[in-house]
A = this chain, B = another copy of it.
Amino acid sequence: MARSKIFGSFAAAVADIPDGSTIAFAGFAYPGVPFNLIRALLDQGAKGLTCITNGTGGAGADRMPDIGMLVEAGQVAKVVAAFTAPTRASDRIPLTRYVDEGKIEAELVPQGTLAERLRAAGAGIPAFYTPTAVGTELAAGRETRVFGGREYLLEHAMPVDVAFLRAWKADSFGNLLFRRSQRNFNPIMAMAARLVIVEVEEDFLQPGEIDPDEVHTPGIFVQRMVKIPPAPEGLWPARRAERGAKA
């Protein structure tokens, strides 16, 4: 009776995302990055976006669709990330220039705090205390509190409008499996979002084909899914050698 969660195209799955949305992008390095959904969002053109992500990417010759491209396309108003500048002064990422010119706001958040703020949003916890960043520039002027003789920083939940995920397997109800380090931010971003859109690597399974004990993200968190077509139509990360061959 319920409407199908399976969409026929990435374009259809992201069509109604409005300007000004806050979108969380899963992934850590290549695994778990929703490359196909990012490309669809580039085509869709929503503007004034707030992008929550570990990093914005943009380095490397064999670049896949990334937040840096959304930045370069003028779609981004703000980035919240654990990396808002490269770690080596000699590296460049697209975001830097926009931040330096004041065109984009960048909020730098320690990776664990980023994860916990997303988790808090998905857990109905409005705020919590963490030891991370105490005594640093990031804590300057902010509220801290001592528990058991140690100083902690107050952090707020980070709810998001939309989460873009990439999963290994899914059943048609939306139960998701992630493989190896593909899991990373995916489950917690799913919990933090009102609308969860997933690109799925394997063919959809029937409900009941995934053991309930093995589900990583329950289907109640998932609204839309798209099967990733084979390359070159679908985007798949390649081995280093293959990437070299393409470049």
Residues of A near any B CB (own CB < 8 A): 116, 120, 123-131, 145, 147-148, 150, 152, 156, 177-180, 183, 212-214, 216
CB neighbours (8 Å) of A129 from chain B are: 125-128
A147 to chain B: closest residue by CB: B126
CB neighbours (8 Å) of A128 from chain B are: 120, 125, 127-129
Distance to closest chain B CB from A109 (angstroms): 16
**Contact between B156 and A213 (Cβ–Cβ < 8 Å)?**
no
Give the complex CA separation of A125 and B178 in angstroms: 26
CB neighbours (8 Å) of A216 from chain B are: 213
Distance to closest chain B CB from A205 (angstroms): 15
Give the complex CA separation of A52 and B130 in angstroms: 24
CB neighbours (8 Å) of A145 from chain B are: 127
A130 to chain B: closest residue by CB: B125
Contact of A213 among B124, B126, B130, B180 (CB under 8 A): B180
CB neighbours (8 Å) of A150 from chain B are: 126
Give the complex CA separation of A100 and B125 in angstroms: 34
17 other A-B residue contacts (CB within 8 Å) besides A125-B130, A183-B213: A116-B123, A124-B130, A125-B128, A126-B129, A126-B147, A126-B148, A127-B128, A127-B145, A127-B147, A127-B152, A128-B128, A128-B129, A177-B213, A180-B212, A180-B213, A213-B214, A213-B216
Give the complex CA separation of A129 and B126 in angstroms: 6
A216 to chain B: closest residue by CB: B213
Give the complex CA separation of A214 and B183 in angstroms: 12
**What are 20 contact pairs spanning A and B, CB under 8 A?**
A116-B123, A120-B128, A124-B131, A125-B128, A125-B129, A125-B130, A126-B148, A126-B150, A126-B152, A127-B128, A127-B129, A127-B147, A147-B156, A177-B213, A178-B213, A179-B213, A180-B212, A213-B214, A213-B216, A214-B214
